[in-house]
Amino acid sequence: MAKSIVVIGGGIVGSSTAYYLSKHSGYTPGKDKITILESTSVASAASGKSGGFLAEDWHGPDTASLAELSFSLHKELADTYDGVNNWEYRPVNALSLLGQVGPKKGKLDESKKKGAHWLNDNIVDKCTVMGTPPSTAQVTPEALVKTLAEHSKADIVIASPVKISRDNDGKISSVRAETREGDNIEISATDIVLTAGPWTGRVAEKLLTPAEAKKCRVDGQRAHSVIVRPSQGRELSNHCLFTMVKERSTTHEPEIYCRPKGTAYICGAGDSVALPDDASQVVPSKSAIAELKAQSALISDYFDETMSVEKEQACYLPISSSHSPIIGKVSEGIYIGAGHSVWGITNGPGTDNDLNEDNPETLIAPGILEGRALSIDEDTLEPLTEGRHGLLYRCQRKIDDNIGGIQGWIALKAINVFINKKRLPHDALRESFILARTHHPNIISLLNAYESDRIYVLALPLQPLPLSMILSYPDFVPSFSPFSHIARSIIYQLLLAIEYLHSDEVGIAHRDVNPSNVAVDGNGCVKLLDFGVAFEYGCGMEDEHPNGGMYFELATGAYRAPELLFGSRAYDARSTDLWSLGVTLSTFFSHLTSYNCSTSPRTNSTSSISSSISTSSQGGLAVFPQSTESIAVVTQDTIRCITW
């Protein structure tokens, strides 16, 4: 069957997608067709106005494999199409500059500038090498994007998408678009790829069903930049500079990328101005541009009033709701590649070939042209832990047989079917259904689920850093800066996850909230894990136990709510979550530790709580050991850390 693929968006991701689709072995020129549908012009938004800094190994686990692949593709593209001359591709040195505006420091030893001779002596406190060739490089993005679009041989249509049509079977049949002159055009389509950068969320809301659009939540944040040329005779070095300069009570953090032909790209000054309708309406703030110029002049005299300003501009960084790229299959015939934030140019080429592990299970090009599902490298399969109800493995996923290599680690949760059918509290099927219908940046994602006659297998993103491990670090003291900032972020995100689950729209209680089931990924994003005993309201689970009522033999002992300890079969599951959350927070912010408690309920359900506390050595409520800290102090400390 012939493919007619419509790529919505003409930035780095859209142009890369069109290019690599056209090079894929499953694509037949003359039979298959690719269209880039762009509302303004190719590279008119962030892809034409960004700095073009590339880093191979600066990325967290969510995007490390994507960045590594993309970085190699940048080098391959430069070799193929003379990137050195056509889009100024070159390896660069990256520096971190810490500075302070204050009294004159005198002549600085040039070696402390790490080769960036143009830095002001009086500003440099410390200069550190962050990256060197061959792991850091740069490009001029606009020229790169236009080259990719040209060599993709795609039809470029300047119009805005208005509606998609589906046939009687629900399959995509066409895209209707409107030109700037107001004319409607109909583009035949079998597949659609959303690569509209910060406008991706809006396009999804307009074209897709609510359930589909919910998976494509991407918005934008405005950032500013200037391109300047120092006066004649002032030559810049081959450096990209990441700065933090203190001026009284203010900290400036402009980034300065020296380019091959004598210019410097200077960016920063982000703000929260709302995203306009399209790229043609993006205008820079005069005050933000003036601020960038003033900040750069502090860092180097090369950027004083003698320099010439070649461009003053703004663009919107595409930010997803999870703060990680969203890449893969949304539904049958609909794909997405968006939300790369500041790393769009670095990770653009690999987006068509790779898949972020927190997102749907099909690659863009192979998914469209081959219908490929998630596949793993069996040689990397290894066990992690063994529990009462199954095994947890880790393994790596294949990228693409045509490219070779593997990408980041994922977790495979294998549960014995026989145990699952005995209706123990842990239910793999229910966990997979719950994860499939929850979409929140702080909830673990389901990549795929498999069933055989012996086991259920859930494929999940591997989260190697649980909160329990963070809390165990002796140097981690959440009450004090800078750890208090980290602590507040973790707590806030955890509260968002619980609030989302408990909402009337979702109606889910986790029933096992504790530090071991909370993880933090490489981007600082909190993930709530392990929904094996989760409770779903409105599904008849009030009689989930074979003998009637609800399960109470669940939740980690020290975090278990009193009603579970006393064997109640009728309780508010949301309330038990809040109890467990409260115990988690008290452990988080104090030197107190929770006693583990008996897994068996007390036979006398009328026993008083005070009696249970006094006989805690015989099992019962989780209680705290004696400590020099009172509960009141712990509570105040917790509140202060959350709200400060």
The encoded tokens of residue 318 equal 């595409």
Residue 287 pLDDT grade (very low, low, confident, very high; cuts 50, 70, 90): very high
- Distances in whole angstroms, Cα of residue 526 to Cα of each of 107, 469, 479, 592: 46, 14, 19, 23
For 587, counting Cβ atoms within 10 Å of its Cβ (0-12 exposed, 13-18 middle, 19+ buried), the class is buried
Res 225 pLDDT > 80 = yes
511-527 tens-digit pLDDT: 999 998 999 887 788 99
Q: What is the mean pLDDT of residues 587-593?
A: 59
Q: Which of the residue ranges 394-398, 412-416, 631-635 would you say has the lowest mean pLDDT?
A: 631-635
Instruction: Give the N- to C-terminal CA distance of the chain in Å, as an integer.
Output: 60
Average pLDDT, the chain: 81
Number of residues that this document lists for the chain:
644
> With a threshold of 0.85, does the pTM exceed it?
no
Structure tokens at 497: 């996850």
pLDDT tens, position by position, 554-564: 767 788 888 88
Domains, the chain, in order of start with CATH, read 4-88+138-217+322-350 (3.50.50.60), 93-132+220-319 (3.30.9.10), 372-462 (3.30.200.20), 465-592+624-643 (1.10.510.10)
User: Tokens 């409607």 sit at which residue?
Assistant: 184
For 576-604, what is the mean pLDDT? 63
Give yes or no for a contact between 465 and 521, defined as CB atoms under 8 angstroms apart. Answer: yes
- Residue 475: pLDDT over 90: no
pLDDT digit string, tens, across residues 432-447 = 888 888 888 899 988 8
Q: pLDDT band for 604, please (50, 70, 90 cuts).
A: very low
Radius of gyration of the chain (CA): 28
DSSP letter for 505, please. T
Burial letters 66-104, b for 16+ CB under 10 A, else e: bbbbbbebbbebbeebebeebbbbeebbbbebebbeeee
Question: How far apart are alpha carbons 121 and 127 in whole angstroms?
Answer: 11
Specify the pairing of strand 155-158 against strand 90-91.
unpaired
Question: Coil, strand or helix: which one is 208?
Answer: coil
- Whether 583 has a pLDDT exceeding 70, the answer reads yes
- Cβ-based neighbours of 465, under 8 Å, separated by 6 or more: 519, 520, 521
| Overall average pLDDT of the 570-582 stretch | 90
Q: Is 454 helix (H, G, I), strand (E, B) or coil?
A: coil
What are the start-end ranges of the H helices in 438-482? 467-472
CA-closest candidate to residue 363, choices 576, 142, 69: 69
Query: 10 Å Cβ neighbour count for 216?
Result: 24
Give the HSE-up count for residue 193: Cα atoms under 13 Å, Cβ half-sphere. 34
